[in-house]
Structure 1
């Protein structure tokens, strides 16, 4: 145990009646509080927050706005969100935007600069910087790789009027 740990856990360093982070004066954690400390956000709150994030991917979103969806202060929310997901709220938002960018790049329906603006990045370079850091390649390289690995499209066959050898009825 380090000096700081010993000082932190030393009962003499607390004032009488001081309710420390471990619970009441006796160190007991009430059952409801223990559940929150161990798990993170309650499932309904987490669902509301995830919906709020995914509905607003293309907009500028603040931590305060996300925390309001969970009806919590932003600091308490950020702590519980990280316990629930393993990401900070803003890391999760970035991750969700990058996943959306990947999906749009696979469709090849939009230009990269349009995708960047559509999903909430300031511009194409902003998307490219975060995309390269997370995926290991630029959005253009990703789109090209997806195009190369996509199975070839089957040609539409028009069998009307065609006679295949071996399928000609014998007379």
Structure 2
């Protein structure tokens, strides 16, 4: 069992090393801080499972490594989703930065989704939640979450294709 003093000593002794490791993996401070915080929370939650014969540093870095990978997956999923959307709906030349796809997409496309579809899609794409977690959050069955995600992606694809058709009609006319 992990004692409170052991955890405090660990943070005191290895706090900088832990942060450096997280920063080296995720490459930005907010994500590194999130990963470190999630590591500490998991250590506290599972303190009764800690084997006193095991090295606390190895245990912590194993948890931290997994939390950093989770952060990278969340970021990659979020960026991939919006990069695909940006490619499908490029900003017009006359649009300034305030009208770029990053600013237009949430209003013009995402707001056309039903609230549960939008919530499921954003939590899945940005936060990396799986269908079980999403089901708990939005209060429906995992199968229903899969339907919401399918419908949201289908609608987005249709809206983006419609946007490309308009672009082709405008540029050819």
Check whether TM > 0.5: no
Bigger relative contact order (CA 8 A; separation at least 6): 2
Larger Rg belongs to:
1
Higher helix share: 2
